[in-house]
Structure 1
Amino acid sequence: MENNVTLSDYLKDRHSTPVAQIKDPGPSQSELEAILTSSVRVPDHGKIAPWRLVVYRGDVRKTLGEQFLKLSLESNPDMTETAREVELGRFTRAPLVVAVISTAAPHAKIPEWEQVLSAGAVCLNMIMAANAQGYVANWRTEWIAYDERVFPALGIKPGEKVAGFVHIGSSDFPTPDRPRPQLADVVTYAGEEQA
């Protein structure tokens, strides 16, 4: 996000860059730390931080792709070459990927649902924080967020869930906007008569 763009203008035009259009360079360590610091400034009832982050960059992304392919082949040994390449490149599409992991659990005062929503807020904050640093980002899940066979390789502990994998990098691709809902289709005003 350029410095002369107001937050209001940014939010009116906010969109995600397709993962296929994300490339090097990625954020430096200091830029990444700024992104992560902003990412965790979210609503968090009870101040319990019901989430944690795992950063995947460098060669570990290729190693994970090999693991994704191995597990995919167990389920579908007749995968096409194109499908195999997709699995190998799942985490190398962007210079870095950050997992936002929900650690939501029963709590005496804080409903689990609120904890899960807080993890989702981290994902959105991360996209906006990456944009503020001049990078593009995309929030994905895909099958790897739901298949517990791959969790140990991803550093996800038993009982945790993936809120999202945020892919961060650069792009010179002009991202077209997609259709957005009309307010009349998604907003009602309580106590007011509807037409």
Structure 2
Amino acid sequence: MNRHSVSTLAVPLLALLLGYSWAQKPQVSGQEDRAKLDIALVDMVKLFNADKDYTAQREELQKEVAEAQKTLQEKQQALLQLQEEGRKAKPNSEEQKRIGEELRQKARDAESFRQNHVNKVLETEKSLNIKTWRTINERIQRYADDRGIRLIIRYTSQPVDDSKTPQEILALINQDVVYQNGLDVTEDILQTLN
């Protein structure tokens, strides 16, 4: 073979190899790939549920709710017993009037107890959610600033499946993010919590 024929074969081969290598996406890890992005996604529900303080306080709140429900059921049972006594009392008697007044007072007390407890639970839950959101949001901001990410969008990583309620399915269908590939930074942020 002469020298000219070798170079004739080498040029197309070299062009083919260069074209192939330029067409290939560079292989980088997910974290390196995300570091080059301006946008990322985060699953806030997952972050809230992974926060130990949040879950511990939610469990404590659920215990308080269960205790209040038990107390309210006891009050309702006492009302039913008093109501039965009122039926057994002689019509229009002083005893029936006394029982009727006592029944009204206990019903007001039970309703007041219920309303006060509902308000307390709602206020506690609001405070807990705000406190946890602020903590998580600070971590997200720090993470984004450290990596040059300018926008982090909330989404849910839960799949749409038949085990969900119709409301849950509708919420998943209506979320802003329909598809993502490698933009989820939830696991990275989870490592900074607790």
TM bin (shorter chain): under 0.3
Query: More strand per residue: 1 or 2?
Result: 1
Name the TM-score, length of structure 2 as normaliser.
0.22
Larger relative contact order (CA 8 Å, sep ≥ 6): 2
> Which structure has the larger Rg over C-alpha atoms?
2
Query: More helix per residue: 1 or 2?
Result: 2
